[in-house]
Amino acid sequence: MKRDRITKRRDKVARMAERAAVPERPFRGGGPRYLIRPAVSVACAPSLQAIAAALRDATLHIDEEILKAAWRFFTDGGTALYGYDVTDALRETVQLQQKIVRPAPVELEQAPVAVAV
């Protein structure tokens, strides 16, 4: 049951990343015209698509903590993704991509031993 819940969450966050990678049309009316600025969306598109692809890859192990961080990144309006600064948004998006795509280094149980021949 827990694995199924995590898989659903991964798919949902992947859909969020794919939607954020496409520049949205302006909203006419009161309030903000864009949730994510088109310039930010275009600049971050390759990283967002890589995040979505990694989340959809079932062979890649992703911890719940990293998944929660990705969830906060897309749902919290205070992140740089929803701001005006393209460079800051790109920096945060690449950091999230590195957390998700790059696996943690494997720690050996024993220290490597040199063998003389």
Number of structural domains (the chain) is 1
CA angle, 54 then 58 then 63, to 5°: 70
State the SS3 of 40-105.
Answer: HHHHHHHHHHHHHHHHHCCCCCCCHHHHHHHHHHHHCCCCHHHCCCHHHHHHHHHHHHHHHHCCCC
Residues of the domain holding 79: 2-101
Sequential pLDDT tens for the chain (117 residues): 456 888 899 999 999 999 999 988 877 777 677 788 899 999 999 999 999 999 999 888 888 899 999 999 999 988 999 999 999 999 999 999 999 987 656 565 666 666 766
| pTM, 2 dp | 0.79
Res 2: pLDDT: 59
* Residue 82 lies inside a defined structural domain of this protein: yes
* Residue 33 lies inside a defined structural domain of this protein: yes
Which CA distances in Å does 81 have to 8, 38, 59, 98? Answer: 23, 11, 28, 16
* Residue 14 lies inside a defined structural domain of this protein: yes
